[in-house]
Structure 1
Amino acid sequence: MAIAEEYIRLIFGLKIKQIRTEKDLSLFGLSKLSGLSKSYLNEIEKGKKYPKTDKIIKLAETLGVPYDQLVSLKLDKNLAPIGEILQSGILDEIPLELFGIQQSDLIDIIANAPSKVNAFISTIIEIAQHYNMSREGFYLASLRSYQEAHNNFFKDLEDKVIRCANTYQLDLTGKIGSAELEEILKEEYGYNINESGIPKQEELDNLRSVFVPSTKTLLLSDRVDEAQKTFIFAKELGYQYLEITDRPYTFTWIRYNHFEEVLHNFYASYFAGALILPRQHLGEQLKELFSSETFSEKAFHKIMNLYNASPESFYQRLTNVLPKDFGMQNVFFLRFTHKKGVEKFNLVKELHITHQQQPHANEINEHYCRRWMAIKTLQRTANEDLEYTFNIQISDYADTDQQYLVFTSATKDPFRKDYYRSIGIGFLISSALEKKIKFVGDSKIPKVKVGVTCESCSLKDCDVRMAPPKRLLIREKHKKTASLVQDLVKQYS
């Protein structure tokens, strides 16, 4: 394949299809608006035709995007992995014909389902960067790619939550409690609920619920609080209302047998979060919070307390609502766990919208920056044996011009002795964000210089450094070696 020409045509077509889909336009609708035939537009989207300048101008005007954006080969996050694999020429190296696959067929698949292909490719790339990934790790990496490709917002699930609330007369402007969800599960779906049905055995300590499908019996741990119980019941309602049968039966999960279980577990969890923290009501509260010139921790927690939701559910829900309804792009979500008395901090869950943000997991046993709010809050909670801790800071990343507004909550793990967890969300600070969150400029919010890991950090005289900056030292050594070699070459030339 002449990759340069094919690549340009395909990327242009993918861009047109992506923008058209985002605007909820059919090929027929775009044809009617642009005056270009439906068959011609179809060939453009499949990468078979590249239109002349006048037609590109017409498409740009019709779709409401700049001409330069359409003709540029620069891709957003949704299409970037596809662009990389096409431009690399790797498809030429794979003997597709041995499997009865034509390269044109593969390109058609990419053109017709870019977000799904992107999730797959992103996963493969991520696997190459990890070591000893388990099957569950592979599944969860796939799920994360899928979430990130959709900016973690799923309109069909949001719509189904509203329909479900109407069906069962649930108030999406008030605090939904476990009792009303329990009644629906019992009356409408024939559930039997045993609130202390999980035996007190060490191996079952981490379990919050077990569902027995043959008798529709839901066993609960007697240590779940009201917020956790509400989430479990909302999730079970999600499984039933969405008519999902292929699912894990334990929460938290023990083992996923295949990817469909992971995906369905995510759908039910998303449904539960959207039901407990209704999009419209939450959005109204956040709008008021963000309009203040100064940050109020009291106002922040007042919003959290409006809902029967754990801090983790609340922060997770923010990753759905803020990018979509407030246009806040470049967001990260992190969840850490930590055992008291141990120096290790485990990043067990992360999400990045719309690009890979500065704080991210590493698989090479380096030390995460101890100046991160997520770790400082976790350390304080563990050292002082607190039930709950909250803090906020602006993290100013060394060697970059990037600053993040970060909120973090840390709690005791009620299911494991001496274990603690922190949940945090961060927003890349920009002029656009400053217009949306007025208190970004609040001088009372501390600004702290941070790195990513100690091994890659250039900060001098850091009093919480856990390891020398070996990666930087190696880089400097290589740089000096290259300079000396260049001098030798010049001397003997």
Structure 2
Amino acid sequence: MEEDYIKLIFGLKLKQLRTAKGLSLFGLSKLTGLSKSYLNEIEKGKKYPKPDKIVILSEKLDVPYDHIVSLKLDNNLAPIGEILRSNILKEIPLEIFGIKESNLIDIVANAPAKVNAFISTIIEIAKHYSFGKESFYLASLRSFQEANNNYFDGVEQSVLKFATTYQIDLNRPILSKELEDILIEEYGYIIKESELGKYEALENLRSVFVPKTKTLLLADGIDERQRSFIYSKEIAYNFLEITDRLYTFPWIKFESFDHVLNNLYASYFAGALIIPKKELILQLETVFEKETFDEVLFLKMFEAFNASPESFYQRLTNILPKAFNIQNLFFLRFTHKADSEKYHLKKELHISHQHSPRAYETNEHYCRRWVSLKVLKDINKSKKTHEFDIQISNYVGDDTKYLVLSSATKDPFKDNQYRSISIGLLINKQLERKLKFLDDKAIKTQEVGVTCERCAIKDCKVRQAPAIILDKVAKNKKIEIIVEELNTKFG
């Protein structure tokens, strides 16, 4: 076992024995003749005492030597052992949240029995659902984005500095050729195409970077928008001086939280470069000030910024909370195979509010009334390159409404595969003040649920499964009422 683990366990046990005796650190120091600072270092897991010191501690605390050095923990400290053995504290990026590992251990060690039972439950759930390191990193990243309203001013300023340094005109669309020249001439890149196409297993990869020779391998068939985004990310890694990075796009695996976080910063830089904040705000203001929703004007923004729908919608999640104070929003990406009834939620972000849906419901049937799924059906039938729709989604029983904008495109790397990108804005007084077109009668209002299994909508013609979870809740409620009546009758 790791030396640190042994130190921590000993320190926890010593603290438990000391407090059980009603002793302060000062009192234990006086009793044993060991300095208070030395005992404090032991309890914090920073030092492990020599055998002669352990003998003194066991004698004065009246516990067997074998018990105090044993790695077996009492029931109330068992969750700590589980956490330490699982190595989860090494995987959680605690520093991002301003937490010290020693402080967290101390909190858990002093928690009531019920809290420790809760921690044990969380660990069991994580094991049961194979909640591994990658899942935790991604969940931590989403929390980090949400805590910052998905806006990072330092990266925004770096983009402006880059534009000045390399004389990039942010008032016009940035083309890939301009970015390619910077990569080659300034950063010494070698760019090769057609190499990845030789390997069938790499069909989902768009780029691979080989650091030793600064060679960027690009997939066959990537379009201008994808190429610009890839080049912008590579520029970001260099301009931001990020060396601890991922080398494939999309990523295959990551070894540390820094990989995940740095990937976010590079992607954010790319989005901010391709879709400059100042210009985007001006164009959004034009759309928002109209009394009716101008779909043509909205879609023109995609062309104006040489950006894919996903990059554009992602950029909206950066700008809307900061520039327009629209902070209750969600971002979703669904994938769908043609002629299939399955829809997979692959990416999500929720800012300032616990919006529906969330990815944990993937074993249930997402509501077929969502515009996110409708555009996927539409593009499957129309075979267009881009399907767009807008909808006001009224969540039955939840008393919430969202304005949802959604785009569907074909997956360029997979036959008969499509994806939809959606952004949902909570309709409240703030949104009503910002968006004058909210009363546009042409925007369809649709009653929706979260999943069929939880949906209260009666006689839904597109229902995929009965409302078994909702029915179970109703049944339990009925039983509860009858039991109350019986208590009243015979009490």
- The alignment's TM-score, normalised by the length of structure 1, stands at 0.75
Match of 2:306 in 1: 308
The separation in 1 between residues aligned to 2:232 and 2:250, in whole angstroms, is 15
Written as runs of structure 1 = structure 2, the 5 A alignment for 1:286-365 is 286-363=284-361, 365=363
Task: Determine which of 140, 163, 166 is the counterpart of 1:165.
Answer: 163
Match of 1:450 in 2: 448
- Is contact 1:340–1:383 with CA below 8 Å preserved after alignment? no
Deviation of residue 127 (structure 1)? 10
Deviations 1:102-144 (A, max 9, x none): xxxxxxxxxx9895459x99xx979958922343222111111
Alignment partner of 2:304: what SS? coil
Match of 1:256 in 2: 254
- Is contact 1:127–1:133 with CA below 8 Å preserved after alignment? no
- Is contact 2:176–2:227 with CA below 8 Å preserved after alignment? yes
The separation in 1 between residues aligned to 2:329 and 2:285, in whole angstroms, is 17
Alpha carbons of 1:213 and 1:424: their partners in 2 closer, same or farther (altered >3 Å)?
Answer: same
Alpha carbons of 1:242 and 1:394: their partners in 2 closer, same or farther (altered >3 Å)?
Answer: same
The separation in 1 between residues aligned to 2:220 and 2:319, in whole angstroms, is 32
- Counterpart residue type for residue 167 of structure 1: T
The separation in 1 between residues aligned to 2:417 and 2:289, in whole angstroms, is 37
The separation in 1 between residues aligned to 2:416 and 2:98, in whole angstroms, is 41
Task: Determine which of 268, 271, 283 is the counterpart of 1:270.
Answer: 268
Deviation of residue 364 (structure 1)? 5.5
- Is contact 1:115–1:149 with CA below 8 Å preserved after alignment? no
Match of 1:459 in 2: 457
- Counterpart residue type for residue 264 of structure 2: F
Deviation of residue 358 (structure 1)? 2.6
Deviation of residue 303 (structure 1)? 1.5
Alignment partner of 1:475: what SS? helix
- Counterpart residue type for residue 378 of structure 1: L
Alignment partner of 2:461: what SS? coil
Identical columns (%): 53
Alpha carbons of 1:301 and 1:237: their partners in 2 closer, same or farther (altered >3 Å)?
Answer: same
Written as runs of structure 1 = structure 2, the 5 A alignment for 1:381-392 is 381-392=379-390
Deviation of residue 340 (structure 1)? 1.4
Deviation of residue 473 (structure 1)? 0.7
Match of 1:485 in 2: 483
Written as runs of structure 1 = structure 2, the 5 A alignment for 1:45-444 is 115-117=97-99, 131-363=129-361, 365-444=363-442
Deviations 1:311-355 (A, max 9, x none): 000000000001001100101000000111221111010001112
The separation in 1 between residues aligned to 2:433 and 2:482, in whole angstroms, is 50
The separation in 1 between residues aligned to 2:195 and 2:295, in whole angstroms, is 38
Q: Which moved more, 1:483-492 or 1:339-348?
A: 483-492
The separation in 1 between residues aligned to 2:123 and 2:461, in whole angstroms, is 33
- Counterpart residue type for residue 417 of structure 1: D
Deviations 1:224-246 (A, max 9, x none): 10000000000000000011111
- Is contact 1:131–1:363 with CA below 8 Å preserved after alignment? no
Alpha carbons of 1:381 and 1:154: their partners in 2 closer, same or farther (altered >3 Å)?
Answer: same
Deviations 1:22-79 (A, max 9, x none): xxxxxxxxxxxxxxxxxxxxxxxxxxxxxxxxxxxxxxxxxxxxxxxxxxxxxxxxxx
Q: Which moved more, 1:406-415 or 1:255-264?
A: 255-264
- Counterpart residue type for residue 209 of structure 2: F
The separation in 2 between residues aligned to 1:114 and 1:199, in whole angstroms, is 39
The separation in 2 between residues aligned to 1:284 and 1:234, in whole angstroms, is 23
The separation in 1 between residues aligned to 2:77 and 2:289, in whole angstroms, is 54
The separation in 1 between residues aligned to 2:201 and 2:441, in whole angstroms, is 48
Match of 1:90 in 2: none
- Counterpart residue type for residue 177 of structure 2: A
Alpha carbons of 1:255 and 1:115: their partners in 2 closer, same or farther (altered >3 Å)?
Answer: closer
Deviation of residue 491 (structure 1)? 3.4
Match of 1:32 in 2: none
- Is contact 2:277–2:319 with CA below 8 Å preserved after alignment? yes
- Counterpart residue type for residue 198 of structure 1: L
The separation in 2 between residues aligned to 1:199 and 1:465, in whole angstroms, is 41
- Is contact 2:393–2:402 with CA below 8 Å preserved after alignment? yes
The separation in 1 between residues aligned to 2:407 and 2:398, in whole angstroms, is 26
Alpha carbons of 1:231 and 1:470: their partners in 2 closer, same or farther (altered >3 Å)?
Answer: same
The separation in 1 between residues aligned to 2:178 and 2:291, in whole angstroms, is 39
Alpha carbons of 1:175 and 1:97: their partners in 2 closer, same or farther (altered >3 Å)?
Answer: closer
Alignment partner of 1:313: what SS? helix
- Is contact 2:356–2:450 with CA below 8 Å preserved after alignment? yes
The separation in 1 between residues aligned to 2:123 and 2:182, in whole angstroms, is 41
Deviation of residue 95 (structure 1)? 8.8
- Is contact 2:328–2:426 with CA below 8 Å preserved after alignment? yes
Deviation of residue 422 (structure 1)? 0.2
Deviation of residue 490 (structure 1)? 3.1
Alpha carbons of 1:127 and 1:183: their partners in 2 closer, same or farther (altered >3 Å)?
Answer: farther
Q: CA RMSD in A?
A: 2.9
- Counterpart residue type for residue 279 of structure 2: H
Alignment partner of 1:349: what SS? strand
- Is contact 2:334–2:346 with CA below 8 Å preserved after alignment? yes
Alignment partner of 1:141: what SS? helix
Alpha carbons of 1:188 and 1:334: their partners in 2 closer, same or farther (altered >3 Å)?
Answer: same
Instruction: State the number of aligned residues.
Output: 391
Deviation of residue 200 (structure 1)? 3.6
Deviation of residue 437 (structure 1)? 0.8
- Counterpart residue type for residue 416 of structure 1: K
Deviations 1:80-117 (A, max 9, x none): xxxxxxxxxxxxx669999xxxxxxxxxxxxx989545
The separation in 2 between residues aligned to 1:241 and 1:222, in whole angstroms, is 27
The separation in 2 between residues aligned to 1:426 and 1:395, in whole angstroms, is 9
The separation in 2 between residues aligned to 1:375 and 1:234, in whole angstroms, is 30
The separation in 2 between residues aligned to 1:125 and 1:334, in whole angstroms, is 26
- The alignment's TM-score, normalised by the length of structure 2, stands at 0.75
The separation in 1 between residues aligned to 2:244 and 2:96, in whole angstroms, is 26
